[in-house]
Amino acid sequence: MIFLKNLISYWLEGLSYLILLAALVFGTLKIDRSIRFKLVCVFVFVISLIALRISSQKGVSNSLQYSFIYLLNTICWSSYFYLLFNSKLKRIVVILIASGALTYFFYKNVILEFDLIFDSVGQVLSSVGIVALVFIYLHQILSTVKTEPLTQNLDFWIASSQLIYHLGAFGIFLTFNHFTNKILNTPFYNKENRRILTYLWGVHNVLLFLASLLVCVGVFWIVYRKKSKNQPDYKSQ
Amino acid sequence: MSISERFISYFLEGVAYCLSFVSILIYTIKINRETQFKILTGFLFLVTVIAVKISVRKGVSNSLLYSYIYLLNSVGWSLFFFFLFKDPVRKAISLVPGLITLIYFIQKVVLSEFDRVFDSIGYVICSTGIVLLLFLYFQYLLANVKSERLSMNFNFWLSCSQLVYNLGAFAIFLTYNHFTLRILDDYTPEKRSILTSLWGVHNLLLFLSSIIILIALVWISRNRLPKNNILQNKLAEGTPMIKPN
């Protein structure tokens, strides 16, 4: 049981990013070699390294690493949707969202003093921005309907996974700093309180794991359908 | 430490970056609005804010802020040369120093433990990359000789200023971590003052480079021909003009 708790609360984050990376690399090689997928692969690779580093280190503040994760996530998905969108207005929105998160990161981590506690505002800004971009993308695919089934569209699977993760983890991001401060300030700071906070992060990790599984399923589904289409139909001969 | 020494060692860095930023901003607004200058202005703005922040605060480690400076400098100059060069080979090469610095920064700052001491290796990688790009630019400039005077080329002035700074401060960057570690072992105010003076030399080089940029701005804006005069000069030189149909 302790092993499972440790796995979910500490290791699942790194593991999820690794699964996501593997699925994206496989999808890029087998389905679509567009530059946006390659770009996402590079960013997810760097984020995986940071997440693994966070998983392996204990007893030290990792707030700076989490700040870099939200910064990289913002740049990654902004670049991805910038390359995916087909109108100038949508691209301007992407630039504005990315600039907002970048400016906040710069203000918080460079201009202000180093903060040991998790930066909720930065994570929330990043998540809200990415969710907004996903909705703009959904609007784009609904307004330009194609004959190809939606399940054959890798972008759709990736956007859905990001929606699940960022919308689901939004509440956790929003409250994590508040809870950490509350626990640190209580006169009876104990392991129990800390454990609850660790469980809360475990829920976030489960959402991240679900999102990477979704990308995995999407990639394998598209590859499977492509293969079955390419196989010769013996019955008709 | 006298006021002038204090100014040179602590405040001159921020002042120099402010001067460079303002000069390039004016050049971008008034003379040339090409992408490379806009990008450089953006990056220099960020570096200036960090440098001013470093100058203002005391008694805390600023190694992380200096790491941000070398990263922004390297990425900024890589992008500057990327947009400046026209051929694909030089464009590709210009991205390499920025990428190497970025990878080193991620390894050192994000993945490794926080280090309170100045990161000499990061600065050396950044400076070496920028100097290589500058030599690539000079080679490009010599290969594409134009009738325009070299002193009217702002890119040339910028490159010279960076060469003065990066090549001059290279030895300081290379040895700073070593000296800091040595002094920390046997920490005395006198030894610290020597280290502060060494950083003052770096600041002087940075100030010199910003003065070069300022001189370039003044020189080019004074000697620049107004748009109407260009036509008159061409007519006077006998440049063939296309007749309108």
Residue B234 has pLDDT above 60, yes or no: no
Is B27 within 8 Å of B217 (Cβ atoms)?
A: yes
C-beta atoms of A49 and B50 within 8 A: no
Q: What is the DSSP letter of A173?
A: H
**Structure-token pair, residue B229:** 């005069």
Q: What is the DSSP letter of A150?
A: G
Residue B87, sorted as left (phi over 0), alpha (psi -120 to 50) or beta, turns out to be beta
Question: In which domain, by residue range, is B216 found?
Answer: 3-237
**Which stretches of chain A sit within 8 Å of chain B by CB?**
46, 49-50, 53, 60, 64-65, 68, 106, 110-111, 113-114
Instruction: Count how many domains chain B has.
Output: 1
CA distance B99 to chain A (A): 12
pLDDT digits (tens, 9 = 90+) for B36-49: 999 999 999 999 99
Nearest CB partner across the interface for B110, out of A65, A106, A114? A65
pLDDT band at residue A9, thresholds of 50, 70 and 90?
Answer: confident
Which residues of A are less than 8 Å from B98 in CB distance? none
pLDDT band at residue B113, thresholds of 50, 70 and 90?
Answer: confident
pLDDT band at residue A209, thresholds of 50, 70 and 90?
Answer: very high
Flag whether A19 is in a domain: yes
Mutation for testing the A interface, residue in B57, B111, B113, B116 having most A CBs under 10 Å:
B111
pLDDT digits (tens, 9 = 90+) for A115-162: 788 889 999 999 999 999 999 999 999 888 788 888 899 999 999 999
Measured between its terminal Cα atoms, the distance across chain B in Å is 74
Q: What is the DSSP letter of B59?
A: S
Share of chain B above pLDDT 70, in %: 91
Whole-number Å distance between alpha carbons of A71 and B105? 15
**Is any Cβ of chain A less than 8 angstroms from the Cβ of B50?**
yes
Flag whether A7 is in a domain: yes
What is the pLDDT of chain A when averaged over all its residues? 89
Mutation for testing the A interface, residue in B52, B55, B110, B114 having most A CBs under 10 Å:
B110
Flag whether A233 is in a domain: no
Flag whether A8 is in a domain: yes
pLDDT digits (tens, 9 = 90+) for B69-88: 999 999 999 999 999 998 99
C-beta atoms of B49 and A110 within 8 A: yes
**Is any Cβ of chain A less than 8 angstroms from the Cβ of B114?**
yes
**Structure-token pair, residue A94:** 């992407």
Question: In which domain, by residue range, is A137 found?
Answer: 2-228
pTM: 0.84
Exposed e or buried b per residue across A28-54, where buried means at least 16 C-beta atoms within 10 angstroms of its C-beta: beebeeeebbebbbebbebbbbbbbeb
pLDDT band at residue B171, thresholds of 50, 70 and 90?
Answer: confident
C-beta atoms of A53 and B111 within 8 A: yes
Q: What is the DSSP code string of B37-57?
A: HHHHHHHHHHHHHHHHHHHH-
Residue B238 has pLDDT above 70, yes or no: no
Instruction: Count how many domains chain A has.
Output: 1
Nearest CB partner across the interface for B68, out of A49, A65, A110? A110
Q: What is the DSSP code string of B61-118?
A: --HHHHHHHHHHHHHHHHHHHHHH--SHHHHHHHHHHHHHHHHHHIIIIIISPP--S-
- Residue of B18, B33, B28 whose CA lies nearest to B217: B28
- Confidence (pLDDT) at A237: 46
